[in-house]
Amino acid sequence: MRYAGDCVAAGGSLGTLIPPSVVFIVYAIMTEQSVGKLFVAGIVPGLLIAFLFCVTIYINCRLRPHLGPAAQRFTWRAKFASLAGGIETLTLFVVVIGGMFAGMFTPTEAAAVGAAGTLIIALVKKQLTLKMVTRSLQETVRTSCMVMIIVTGAVIFGHFLAVTRIPFELASSLASLPLPGWTVMGFIILFYLVAGCFVDALGLILLTIPIFFPVVTQIVYDPIWFGVIIVVVTQMGVISPPVGVCVYVVSGIERDVPLQTVFRGALPFLAALVLAAIILIEFPRICLFLPDLVR
């Protein structure tokens, strides 16, 4: 159970990268980038990190077999039958993301298609009850209000920074330093890595993007790539001490697992995230080759 908690805490960090991601939406609004391209750009890095997490679990279980003892064997027919419950979700995901990728509809229209598809699935499975609809509407209003308040605060903060010219002065100062662009980018990423341990990813992006984005554009780095990298780096903060949000959630749900135990067990996954960030920095086309295909 303890190692399962570690895996859940690490896997929970993927939510900021795999579309649909609220962090990507806010980043797109603040930097005037395409939400669809950011969503598509997060797919391959998300799959890469998921693969590295699987490798981490495999290595840990091979080195310490008590973490993942042998389970009951099942036939391939039983394994495929167990996937039946996720077919509807997978189909809806392919339709929504595939539709944006093919240019059939915009991100806003894709949200409507996803909502309509969810209602149809619930209706076909005879799970569309008045209680469920009421709860869904309440959650929608709560989430929408939260995002709108966050965006409003970000816009006000952005206007303040524009009036004070802090981002532009900082961008000029950093760009004029006798350092190569990759060194400046390294300092920015290091800042996000440290700050992500103390500040929530969404709050950190709201506070810092107006300051660092002009620097990134001035040293000629792709804004879509930068968005993915920032999300990956801040993703490390949700499983690293002292303010690892996902770790606190897991420890709060499974109260017999001490907080320090979950933090200790999440360290190998943190190493996997660092490796993923290095790969994405070294090979930016991993982030960009799918968005380049989007019309």
Span 106-117, pLDDT tens digits? 777 888 888 888
The predicted model gives 212-233 an average pLDDT of: 82
Structure-token match 């993915």, residue found: 228
Structure tokens at 82: 């167990």
CA dihedral over 241, 247, 252, 256, signed as positive or negative: negative
CB 294 within 8 A of CB 101: yes
DSSP 185-206: HHHHHHHHHHHTTTS-HHHHHH
From the number of C-beta atoms within 10 Å of its C-beta (0-12, 13-18, 19+), residue 193 rates as middle
Span 50-74, pLDDT tens digits? 999 999 988 888 888 887 777 788 8
pTM beyond cutoff 0.85: no
- Measure Cα distances from 5 to 103, 150, 252 in Å: 39, 30, 11
pLDDT of residue 51: 92
Between helices 107-124 and 87-102, what is the axis angle to 10°? 160
* Lowest mean per-residue pLDDT among 6-20, 223-237, 248-262: 248-262
Instruction: Give the count of beta carbons closer than 10 Å to the beta carbon of residue 122.
Output: 16
Give CA–CA dist 64/151, Å, rounded. 46
pLDDT of residue 147: 64
pLDDT of residue 175: 63
Span 88-104, pLDDT tens digits? 888 888 888 788 777 78
pLDDT of residue 174: 65
Q: Is the pLDDT confidence value at 251 over 70?
A: no
Q: Is the pLDDT confidence value at 295 over 70?
A: no
Name, of 5-19, 161-175, 246-260, 275-289, the range with top average pLDDT. 275-289
From the number of C-beta atoms within 10 Å of its C-beta (0-12, 13-18, 19+), residue 240 rates as buried
Of residues 196 and 224, more confidence is placed in: 224
